[in-house]
Chain A
Amino acid sequence: MSLLKQNITLFGENIPWLDGLREKARAVFEKNGLPNKKTEAWKYSFFKEDALGLPLVDDTPHECDGHCHESENLPFESLPIKYCNGRLTHIAHDLPRGVMIIPLFEAIENGEIKPYLNKSFALEDFPFAALNTALLDEGAFVVITKEFAAEKPIYLHYHQHDGMNRLCNIRNIIVVEKGARATMIEHFDGEADAQYFDNIVNEIYVGTDGALTHYKRMNEAGRAHHIALNSVQVKAGGNYTSFVVHGECALARTESLVRLLQQGAAAEVNGVYRLAQNGVSDITTNIRHLAPHTNSNQLVKGVLDGAAKGVFQGQIHIAPDAQQTTGHQLHRALVLSDEAEVDCKPELEIFADDVKCSHGASSGDLDVEQLFYLQSRGIPLEEAQKILIEAYLNEVFAKIEDETVAAWIKSNIFLS
């Protein structure tokens, strides 16, 4: 497994528990290897290791002269956490009371991370999260103290530039304590010709009556691979709301594993993807209702053109005692060319009998009557198509409450 053959020194190799965890993860990754076409969870979006072009972990400290973030012009105020070429380069100063953000290594050194690190998923189920764990070295630990509300969003910016093909394993642990509230915004971007592999794992813990809104805007470089696992646990009355936007890149997979652990826990996982070249977008969800009175909702819509491929795999699992539960899921795609492909796999596992569940999927082309109506008013065909595509996706964008954030996320895929 050449991905593991990295001639590097990782942080904290002398810390026995950490070393043990890495060893275990290494063994799992070596045993199972990369997923292939026979791996059920990956059958639509597996790839060969060659496709990555031998990415290397860069363990040298990043000398960021700031140019990487110069172009940034956010329309909202935030508490930034910045990664450049896979290295943590900046954490917001002057954090408000109730918000703690420290580098992962600090949290490992002082042991604070122990109750959370690799506690929300099984290594065997997530090959790339196993890789991420085997090479665990970089990340951030964020805690919103109980009953505090972080007013400014926590903004995680992952920027990639220059010619080195890097393997970037980043682990963020976000803990929203009892009654606390926060918004996190992840933003991935890379310079046009950069090639790299972002392998991200976020472990998210939402406490009793806590709430986290999680936005992700992904516009990696065209040749980049991007795999992310959001492993989320929600306690009683807690709320996790997420919104993923995938733009163009070689392959992007965002997988959300959400466990609704206790009564009244709720999750919403929404997403939009728009690809027009030959990339792959994979949005995979697994919402696990493990207690009564838990609710989930998913709405994912995509637009595909060129030779692009869109994948949606949505699993809703309802445990035997999770009565009075609702779980809804809808995936729709517009397929604008003959070469484009959409694969959709809904999976409902329902072991309780007093539940309301639904799933739906559809794919189709733009409506010719609508196109003609716009054209017959003088609007050129291409513009008419743009208008209808935006209208199609607006149903999902309308779910973003903050209009400024909504407009900023939308601009990712509507570059008009």
Chain B
Amino acid sequence: MTQKLLEIKELYAGVADGGKEIVKGLNLTINAGEIHAIMGPNGAGKSTLSYVLTGKSDYAVTSGEMQFCGQDLNALKPEERAALGLFLSMQAPVEIPGVSTQAFLKYAVNAVRKYNHLPELDAAEFLKLLRGKAKEFEVSADMLKREINVGFSGGEKKRLEILQLSLLQPKLAILDEADSGLDIDALKIVSQGVNQWHNADNGLLIITHHLDLLKQIKPDFVHIYADGRIITTGDMTLAEELEKNGYKNYVEMSK
């Protein structure tokens, strides 16, 4: 029997404290081993969906259900969702001056291990793990010493996100515009990293505008997302058709 990772039923959500509704009746199930892509026009609320799932306090669920590995996501804090294995690679990773990237990665790895009742890694163990992975994603020792994302190029930021994916080994990863600002080489590193991590036990939700990333990470399902819900679902051919004809027809359908 396939394991359900994420199950969203008739989800409505919006800006916290009674603000604008942005997710309007979303249904989506992601099983272990599956790769889903969400495509949609600008302003459709795709990034908002990623924040609702990961628990950013700016947004609130008004009705509906979202289950992650059998637990009600809405009852969990962002850090609990992360520790259970939900990962979000942000479109614009946040810069944090004053905190070294390496120290942050150790905090994160050990926080997740602690939550899952695993012994925390000591400095030497962590360094060994980090060095191997950093080499894979071409994250230099210098980058690790620098403050989190401060002065990083677009490509460096995305490589750091994928390094985190690889270190934290989540059950479900949401990649929000993981391809934005990447040149061909960086795109290759990112997609190779994702493909290497992906296996029959975990799942992936890719939010993107472009075919480039989807050609590298082949989705099993492609959803067209407009006006806060999925309008239609297909496979890679749907994405290819979109590239030719645009979203126009689908946006009409959503009205």
Contact = CB atoms under 8 A, between A and B. Distances in A.
Is the pairing of A and B real?
A: yes
Interface of A: 368-370, 372-381, 383-384, 387-388, 390-392, 394-395
Given A372-B57, A377-B111, A387-B107, A392 B98 contact: yes
A391 B97 contact: yes
B78 A372 contact: yes
A375 B96 contact: no
A374 B164 CA distance: 12
A164 B236 CA distance: 81
B83 A390 contact: no
A96 to B, nearest CB: 37
Interface string B146-171: 00100000000000000010001000
Interface stretch (B87-95, B125-133, B247-255): B87-95
27 contacts: A369-B94, A372-B56, A372-B57, A372-B78, A372-B94, A373-B93, A374-B104, A374-B107, A375-B78, A375-B79, A375-B82, A376-B55, A376-B56, A376-B90, A377-B82, A377-B104, A377-B111, A377-B112, A378-B83, A378-B108, A378-B168, A380-B77, A381-B79, A388-B96, A388-B99, A390-B98, A391-B97
Contact of A377 (B57, B58, B164): B164
Contact of A379 (B88, B90, B93, B108): B108
A369 B93 CA distance: 9
A23 to B, nearest CB: 52
A387 B56 CA distance: 19
A373 B99 CA distance: 13
A372 B115 CA distance: 18
B99 to A, nearest CB: 5
Nearest to B92: A369
Contact of A376 (B54, B96, B97, B148): B54
Interface string B62-106: 000000000000000111011100011010011011110000100
Contacts of A377: 82, 104, 107-108, 111-112, 164, 168
B77 A376 contact: no
Contacts of A390: 98-99
B96 A391 contact: yes
B107 A383 contact: yes
B108 A373 contact: no
Nearest to B56: A372
A263 to B, nearest CB: 37
Contacts of A368: 57-58
A392 B96 CA distance: 10
Nearest to B95: A370
Contact of A381 (B77, B87, B88, B115): B77
Contacts of B168: 377-378
Interface string B178-222: 000000000000000000000000000000000000000000000
Contacts of A394: 98
B79 A370 contact: no
Nearest to B88: A376
Contacts, number: 77
Nearest to A368: B57
A373 B77 CA distance: 13
A373 B97 contact: no
Interface string B113-151: 001000000000000000000000000000000001000
A177 B115 CA distance: 58
A370 B112 contact: no
B30 to A, nearest CB: 18
Contact of A380 (B79, B97, B104): B79
Contacts of B99: 387-388, 390-391
A154 to B, nearest CB: 31
Nearest to B82: A378
A376 B80 CA distance: 9
Interface centre among B108, B111, B168, by most A CB within 10 Å?
B111
Contacts of B111: 377-380, 383
A391 B147 CA distance: 10
B96 A373 contact: yes
Contacts of A379: 79, 107-108, 111
B82 A376 contact: yes
Given A383-B111, A387-B107, A376 B98 contact: no
A375 B112 CA distance: 11
Closest CB pairs A-B (n = 6): A391-B98, A377-B108, A378-B82, A375-B78, A378-B112, A373-B94
Contacts of A391: 96-99
A395 B150 CA distance: 15
Contacts of B82: 375-378
A374 B83 CA distance: 12
A390 B104 CA distance: 13
Contacts of B104: 374, 377, 387
Interface centre among B55, B87, B98, by most A CB within 10 Å?
B98
Contacts of A383: 107, 111
Given A376-B54, A387-B99, 12 more contacts: A368-B58, A369-B94, A372-B78, A373-B96, A374-B104, A376-B55, A378-B108, A378-B111, A379-B111, A380-B111, A388-B99, A395-B97
Nearest to B107: A379
Contacts of B57: 368, 372
B198 to A, nearest CB: 19
B107 A376 contact: no
Nearest to A379: B111
B24 to A, nearest CB: 23
Contacts of A378: 79, 82-83, 108, 111-112, 115, 168
Interface in B7-57: 54-57
A252 B112 CA distance: 40
Contacts of A388: 96, 98-99
